[in-house]
Amino acid sequence: MAFDSIAVRCLTDELNRSIIGGRIDKIHQPEKDEITLHIRTFTDNYKLVLSASSAHPRIHFTEKSKKNPMSAPMFCMLLRKHIGSGKIIAAEQIGFERVVRISVESYDELGDLTVKHLYIEIMGRHSNIILTDADGKILDSIKRVDFTVSSVRQVLPGLQYELPPKQEKTALLDFSPETRLDFTLPQRADKAILAEAGGISPLTAREVVYRAFHRTDITSSELNLNKQSALKTELLHLADEVKNGEFKPCMITEAVTGKILDFSAIDIKQYENLAKITYFDSISELLDSFYNTRDMRERMRQKTADLVKLLNNNIERVSKKLVILTNTLNDAENKEKYKVYGDLLTANIYKISEGQTFVDVDNYYEEGMPTVTIPLDARLSPSGNAQRYYKRYNKSKTAEIEAAKQEKAARADLEYLESTLSALENAETEEDVNLIRSELIAEGYLNRRQNPQKRMNAAAKPRHFVSSDGFDIFVGRNNTQNDYLTLKFANSSDIWFHTKNIHGSHTVIKLGLDKDVPETTMREAAELAAYYSKARSSSQVPVDYTRIKNVKKPNGAKPGMVIYDHYNTVYVTPKEPEKA
């Protein structure tokens, strides 16, 4: 992640241009580690996200809205008390660290004008949001840190605020031509830069090396004095860019799949043709776009952990059952041999003596009557051995019938569980997760006490998109909704899409009066079907499409399971959709 001190400097520049003099209108805490400040200025309204998430700590403006809890958490109430309706008088980066201080001027309960400081520390799992008074005394923090958590630095109400411990590095902005870089260790040049320069990310260090040599894999041993000087020159040039505010916020995505790789506050050239660089007008616009996907996926991973475990456990159980049933069916293939053995022993019973372990007889069931050796149980009589083979025949025949039924049911269960797991992996909101939870309750995989709010489930609708040609495209959120979309919502002439032999959502183009669908819309619908499937991260995904009238649901089939014919197949690369 490239949220380094350069990105923080770029961000504080934007904060100073936007919200200084603005008033804090509302304060919300949608997540346990995230605060949203609604700020009103003379010209604009802003929504500022402050996140102390261990996975994705950040601060930026956003256009997105999150559902807030019914009761505000204690830290949110404290912020409302101390800085609610306050005026922002300063926003600054502390040193060249990943720490932002927002100073707010407000009236206390006695009517006195006071200043409070809100510190946002962007430090990975040590990230925090801390409120102090004008003298630096901690009023509270979104994460309290006591001796059991850290013996180096405690963050508790009443203590004096201290900055996080500094690294033994020279800050980028403090670099000069005389600053020494150590290239004696056997490592890549970007690693050597990271070891000496404070406030830059691995991505930025590689970019410095690329700017100097047009490659990133150069090692310290390859650097003579001239090359070391060239590298230091690029480092100093980068420092000047940051001091002068010459930022170019950009996002890096894979050229083929469109998968988001990273972001940067400076221009990135090192990926050449392997990645696409998208530039943004502001760092907040970049961060909002980048973290909207990353943070959502991380939080959804946490919210779906119990369901993922449940589904994986059931998939494992059904898979083991299938192995046993398959072995039973394989054994049952020999059932006719047992009947033949019984018949041959009965016909040759006069040749068998007590205590024999085998007997050679002519097999009159085969042409040429070849001799066959039949194993015997020495403890049984000749007629007892014949009855033993008849019993094995009858047992195998019964087992084959029952195992065939159970195998069919087990394969349907496995197909359903895997498709549900795929839908869970593609869930985008808590509402999506609750829909899947309700479905699992209805299918008997979950206890009814774990049922989410029914009103929310009843109001849920399929995902809705509008193609570039203006056609409505709908995508199911789970198996139950796939059934509704395909079997009830769609008309017989509508076009249905699904990834070929890959678990995914049902996708439908609603035609209305216009039955002539442009190729662009067809491809966009196929891309949606591929994106909301197990093959989201793949390329050239096969997607089948046909008219709804060609899609049928077998009697007794699990939710979301259908069969179809008269279809065509198109190969597409999944792309993240833009919702209409």
State whether 486 and 564 are in the same domain.
yes
Tokens of 418: 């895997």
The tens digit of pLDDT for each residue in 368-379 reads: 888 888 899 888
Reported confidence tier of residue 204, pLDDT bands at 50, 70, 90: very high
pLDDT at 25: 94
Looking at the predicted structure, is the pLDDT value of residue 456 above 70?
A: no
Q: Are 534 and 552 contained in the same domain?
A: yes
Q: What is the pLDDT of residue 329?
A: 82
Residue 127's pLDDT is what?
94
How far is residue 14's CA from residue 23's CA, in Å, rounded to a whole number? 17
The residue among 77 and 2 whose pLDDT is bigger is: 77
Q: What was the pLDDT predicted at 179?
A: 86
| Sign of CA pseudo-dihedral 285, 291, 293, 299 | negative
Task: Name the burial class of residue 457, with classes exposed (0-12), middle (13-18) and buried (19+) by CB atoms within 10 angstroms of its CB.
Answer: middle
Residues 250 and 291 in one domain: yes
Q: Which of 71-80, 115-124, 434-443 has the lowest mean pLDDT?
A: 434-443
9-52 per-position pLDDT tens digit: 999 999 999 999 999 999 999 999 999 999 999 999 999 999 99
% residues pLDDT > 90 (the chain):
52
Q: CA 295 to CA 55: how far, in whole Å? A: 8
Is the pLDDT reported for residue 207 higher than 90?
yes
- 580 domain-assigned: no
Q: What pLDDT score was predicted for residue 24? A: 96
Task: Provide the pLDDT for residue 450.
Answer: 55
Asked whether residue 117 falls in the same domain as residue 188, the answer is no
Mean local confidence (pLDDT), 472-477: 93
**How much is the pLDDT for 295?**
65
Residue bearing the bigger pLDDT, 457 or 565 = 565
Predicted model pTM: 0.63
| pLDDT tens track for 539-568 | 899 999 999 999 999 988 888 899 999 999
| Cα gap 560→415, rounded to integer Å | 10
**Is 162 contained in some domain?**
no
Burial class (CB in 10 A: 0-12, 13-18, 19+), 276: middle
240, 265, 299 - which closes a domain = 299
Question: What is the pLDDT at residue 455?
Answer: 44
Dihedral (CA of 261, 262, 267, 269) sign: negative
At 457, the pLDDT band (50, 70, 90 cuts) reads very low
pLDDT on residue 580 = 37
Least confident of 103-117, 201-215, 389-403, 488-502: 389-403
Q: Does residue 438 sit within a domain?
A: no
Q: Which pLDDT band holds residue 578 (cuts at 50, 70, 90)?
A: low
Q: By CB neighbour count within 10 A (0-12 exposed, 13-18 middle, 19+ buried), where does 337 fall?
A: middle
Considering the domain architecture, whether residues 36 and 134 belong to the same structural domain is answered as: yes
* Residues 255, 230 share a domain: yes
Q: Looking at the predicted structure, is the pLDDT value of residue 128 above 80?
A: yes
> Residue 460, exposed/middle/buried by CB under 10 A (0-12, 13-18, 19+)?
middle
Confirm whether 433 is domain-assigned: no
Residue 555 pairs in a beta bridge with none
Mean local confidence (pLDDT), 390-419 = 86
State the pLDDT confidence band at 458, using cuts at 50, 70 and 90.
very low
The alpha carbon dihedral of 110, 115, 120, 126 has a sign of negative
502-522 mean pLDDT: 88
Within-domain flag for 441: no
The CATH number of the domain where 178 resides is what? 1.10.8
Q: What distance in Å separates the CA atoms of residue 209 and residue 200, rounded to the nearest whole number?
A: 13
Q: Which residue is associated with the tokens 């961000």?
A: 11
Average pLDDT, rounded, for the chain: 89
Q: Are residues 213 and 254 in the same domain?
A: yes
Q: Considering only CA atoms, which of 530, 475, 476 is closest in space to residue 500? A: 530
Whether 109 and 187 map to the same domain: the answer is no
Q: Does residue 455 lie in a domain region? A: no
Single residue among 299, 330, 357 that ends a domain in this structure: 299
| Residue ranges with strand state E in 311-433 | 358-362, 371-375
**Whether residue 180 has pLDDT greater than 50:** yes
pLDDT for 430 beyond 80: no
User: 52 vs 341, which has greater pLDDT?
Assistant: 52
Q: What is the rounded average pLDDT of the residues 335-357?
A: 84
Q: What is the CATH number of the domain that holds 93?
A: 2.30.310.10
What is the per-residue pLDDT across 268-307, written as a single tens digit (0 to 9) for each? 999 988 899 999 999 999 998 888 766 666 667 778 888 8
pLDDT at residue 571 above 80? yes
Please state the domain count of the chain: 4
pLDDT of residue 2: 66
Beta strands in 204-243, from DSSP E residues, in sequence order: none
Residue 113 pLDDT level (bands cut at 50, 70, 90):
very high
Indicate the Cα dihedral angle 498, 576, 580, 30, nearest 10°. 120
Domain match, 322 and 282 both = no
Residue 146: pLDDT over 80: yes
Q: Residue 449's pLDDT is what?
A: 63
Cα 377 to Cα 311, 358, 361: the distances in Å are 47, 8, 16
- Residue pair 200/194 in contact by the 8 Å Cβ criterion: yes
Name the percent of the chain lying above pLDDT 70.
95
Q: Output 264 or 353, whichever has higher pLDDT.
A: 264
Asked if the structure places residue 165 within a domain, the reply is no
451 lies in some domain: no
> Within this chain, do residues 366 and 338 fall inside the same structural domain, yes or no?
yes
Please write down the HEC assignment for all residues of 306-346: HHHHHHHHHHHHHHHHHHHHHHHHHHHCCHHHHHHHHHHHH
What is the span of the domain harbouring residue 286? 170-299
295 and 320 co-located in one domain: no
Instruction: Confirm if 261 and 253 have CB atoms less than 8 A apart.
Output: yes
Check whether residue 100 and residue 70 sit in a common domain.
Answer: yes
Domain boundary among 99, 120, 141: 141
Q: CB of 339 within 8 A of CB of 389? A: yes
